[in-house]
Chains A and B, each alone.
Chain A
Amino acid sequence: MIVALIPAHNEEAGIGACLDALLAQTCPPDLVVVVLDNCTDRTREVAELRPNVETFETRLNTHKKAGALNQALEYMAPWFDHNTRVMVLDADSILAPDFLAEAVRHLDRGYSACGGNFRGQPGAGMLGMFQRNEYARYARDVARLKGRCLVLTGTATVFTWPALRAVRQARQADTLPGSSTGFYDTDVLTEDNEMTFALRTLGYTVIAPKGCYLTTEVMPTWRALARQRLRWKRGAFENLRQYGFNRLTAPYWGRQLVSLVGIIITAVYLASLAAAPVLGIHIAPLWMGVSLIFMAERAVTVRERGWKMMLLGFILLPEMLYDIFLQGVQAFAYMTAAMNRKEGW
């Protein structure tokens, strides 16, 4: 049995397309449940217009998506058995037709969770274009690693029920970090990242195969993007602090270190540009040659997005400005973490 859970908080605008894509899967789910979480709009009506879609309303949930999923999973648990597969899908995501078939194929091969590779949906002008390029590069990286992903995306992941149940049991037995006792940790900013750590800590194998393709919304404004990334970066860092340094987390700590070095280098670069009137600019052919390699890399890694995006990448500067913005957000995330400032959604 495949059960799809879609946590939704005021999602009337996007949930129709999400459900239509889910119901049109070549391997459709047996049960679709929209988890209505403190909705004040027409999400329920839009969902119930579709055939075979059930709704579940959360009660007094203050823990957002993780809390909503915990309530729904607790309620439905008695009907699940070891053959049940649970898909968690964001209400603003649209699956490719073969997503579930591909996920089931991998779960049948022994994986305990199968996450999606997301691309950005159209819109949001230049800012949307930057995000779509970024997502395309990330998906390319994961595909080149044969699906070995760092995070099972919260946008769409299919779990085996035994794996989800084991995570809850481990939380209740206090063998996982944190104080939550449900399926998802309700105290973290990035519950998908934490769930990935939890599963892998318990020895489960996870994958994000190329065929599990979906699109998700891009942030429409710089402010919204900053908020999203602050949550992602701060959440990922907090999860790492929770789980400490071990064989599992070492590659994640390595990425944090590379990011931190990147931030410092960017700061040095900007400072060197600011000091250029005093120090002078010393462009050397050697460095121009090295720069050409990066320009080519930016173009090649967005090849699937067409020649215009390759050209944008090759020019380097526009995407560099976008990256510097993201680095600024990440630096702020480190700062708030160092100050132990509480962050919300």
Chain B
Amino acid sequence: MYTGATTLATATGAAATLPYTGTGGLTLLWVTLGGFAVIAAGAAIRRMLPRNEA
């Protein structure tokens, strides 16, 4: 039922609130979340596009 889109938005939020320090675990987390958010953004755009429905 749950699509996860809003959750993926939290990845964006998390990447936005976590500081990019240049080194260390926090940066790794920042990059992971940011990467995930960008992939999810692509999926979100796809979900918005018109498509023929059954």
- A and B associate: yes
What residues of chain A lie closer than 8 Å to B33, measured between beta carbons?
A: 265, 268
Chain B positions near chain A (C-beta within 8 angstroms): 1-20, 26, 29, 33-34, 36-38, 40-41, 44-45, 47-48, 51-54
Docked complex Cα distance between A235 and B5 (Å) = 23
For chain A, the bracket of interface size reads 35 or more
In the bound complex, do residue B2 and residue A265 qualify as a contact, i.e. CB atoms below 8 Å apart? no
In the bound complex, do residue A268 and residue B14 qualify as a contact, i.e. CB atoms below 8 Å apart? yes
Main SS class of interface, B: helix
Main SS class of interface, A: helix
In the bound complex, do residue A282 and residue B1 qualify as a contact, i.e. CB atoms below 8 Å apart? no
In the bound complex, do residue A290 and residue B41 qualify as a contact, i.e. CB atoms below 8 Å apart? yes
In the bound complex, do residue A283 and residue B16 qualify as a contact, i.e. CB atoms below 8 Å apart? yes
Q: Which of B1, B18, B20, B38 contacts A290 (CB 8 A)?
A: B38
Q: A134-B2, A272-B17 are in contact. Are A296 and B48 (CB under 8 A)?
A: yes
In the bound complex, do residue B18 and residue A282 qualify as a contact, i.e. CB atoms below 8 Å apart? yes
Q: A316-B6, A320-B10 are in contact. Are A281 and B38 (CB under 8 A)?
A: no
In the bound complex, do residue A323 and residue B7 qualify as a contact, i.e. CB atoms below 8 Å apart? yes
Q: Contact string, A107-149, partner B, CB cutoff 8 A, digits 1/0?
A: 0000000000000000000000000001101100101111100
Q: A269-B10, A291-B13 are in contact. Are A134 and B1 (CB under 8 A)?
A: yes
Docked complex Cα distance between A147 and B53 (Å) = 8
